[in-house]
Structures are given as C-alpha cells and as structure tokens.
Amino acid sequence: MKRFIIVVSLVFLSFIVYYDLSWGTNPIPQEKQQEEPKIQPVSSQAEEGSVFQAHTVKKGETVFSIVDQKSGGSPPISAEQIVEDFERLNPETKANLIQSGKVYKFPVYNKSS
C-alpha cells in the first residue's frame, strides 16, 4: 500500500510539473483598455527629428539590444521610456513580446541628449 501511494504521488507530481512547464498557470493578460488614443510625441527626441527606424528582428535580439545598436551605444534615457516609446510606435505589440522575423519600428536616440 505504501508503494502504491508513493507511485501515485510521483505520477501526480510529474503531471503537475509537465502541465506547469508546458501550459503555465498564469495567463498573459490581454490589454483591454484602448479607448482613449494617446496623442503625444514619442519622446523629446521626436521633437528634434530623430524618431524611429524600421528593423527586422533576428533571433536573440531584444528591444534594448536593437535600440543600443541603432543609437550607437547605450542611450541616455531610462529603460521605461524606451519601452514606452517602442509601444507607442508599435501599438499592437508589447516590448517583451516581439517575434523574430517581423519588422518593428524602434526609437533612435542621440547620444548627446
């Protein structure tokens, strides 16, 4: 009887681990509030003329690595502002959900700002 309980427990635990790794328990929240359009410049850089560049994402690239590459190094702006600017340029995409092979608009910042 003891062996039976141990075997059943191991099978159940294996199922739980498999389910959690393959399906997850926390769904990705879908943004529902798109009621009011935000009519604001992408950032202070937009007013200076440096807005964005289109880029086809390659495997392993992130928003930050691409912005660093396009800006010629680490831009003098906060990570939150980079994410906000990216999501304004690409309203249908979250910054952490970009896919390789697709073309997105990436903000470009001047090093001197």
- Interacting residues of 46 by C-beta distance below 8 A, sequence separation 6+: none
CA separation for the pair 21, 75 (Å, rounded): 36
Expressed in percent and rounded to 5, the helix, strand and coil fractions of the chain are 40, 10, 50
pLDDT for residue 103 is more than 70: yes
Indicate if the pLDDT at residue 11 is higher than 70. yes
Burial of 88 (0-12, 13-18, 19+ CB in 10 A): middle
**Residue 14 forms part of a structural domain:** no
- Residue 53 has which token pair? 């560049």
pLDDT-derived band at 90, boundaries 50, 70, 90: very high
**Range of the structural domain that residue 56 is part of:** 44-107
Is residue 77 one of the residues assigned to a domain? Answer: yes
Sign of CA dihedral 30, 34, 40, 42: positive
Is residue 45 scored above 50 in pLDDT?
no
CATH number at residue 68: 3.10.350.10
Number of domains in the chain: 1
Q: Which residue has the higher pLDDT, 109 or 87?
A: 87
Residue 36 resides in a domain:
no
Is 83 inside a domain boundary? yes
Is 64 a domain residue? yes
This prediction's pTM: 0.53
